[in-house]
Amino acid sequence: MAEQISEQILRKIQEARGLYHRLVLVVGPPRSGKTKALQEVARATNFPLISGSLELSRRLLDLTERQRALRASALLEDIVTAHAGVLLDNLELLFDISLQQDPLRLLQQLARIRTVVAAWNGRIQGGYLTYAAPDHPEFRRYPAAGLLVVGTEVSA
């Protein structure tokens, strides 16, 4: 039987311990089992499972658009700062073009001093990590080399 997604994540967390960026990305399209797997990992590790968009939007609510762009990364850091490891789900807000953020670099920055496991609504295709369709304003494409990735889709 194939290894469960949560087991793959736990294995990648162990691999990440010695890395500069202790970031594990759980990559797959919406409704592919990322949240369920993160819930299982939360029970196994006692890492908090945080809805990134929800928590960040609460902190951005009273700020102007310019202040949001300037403070988004610091506010996300505040959300995770008390934890040695954290599971981040629902990160769609990081891709909002008005925030002017580089989501992967922001997650890597958070993962320099803690283990971060982040759900990424996208795909790994042709050696690249993507988010959204190429014609969408929030489209992102990064080289996947060197990233710790757990995919939720079964490849044929």
Please indicate, yes or no, if residue 156 is contained in any of the structural domains: no
CA distances from 132 to 66, 84, 92, 116 (A): 24, 30, 10, 22
Please indicate, yes or no, if residue 62 is contained in any of the structural domains: yes
On the question of pLDDT at 2 being above 80, the answer is no
Domain count, the chain: 1
- What's the pLDDT score for residue 152? 82
On the question of pLDDT at 39 being above 70, the answer is yes
DSSP state, residue 93: G
Domain of residue 117, residue span: 5-151
Please give the span between the terminal C-alpha atoms of the chain, in angstroms, as a whole number: 16
On the question of pLDDT at 74 being above 70, the answer is yes
What pTM was computed for the model? 0.92
On the question of pLDDT at 154 being above 60, the answer is no
118: number of Cβ within 10 Å: 26
Please indicate, yes or no, if residue 138 is contained in any of the structural domains: yes
Please indicate, yes or no, if residue 9 is contained in any of the structural domains: yes
DSSP state, residue 102: -
- What's the pLDDT score for residue 3? 66
Strand, helix or coil for residue 51: strand
On the question of pLDDT at 119 being above 80, the answer is yes
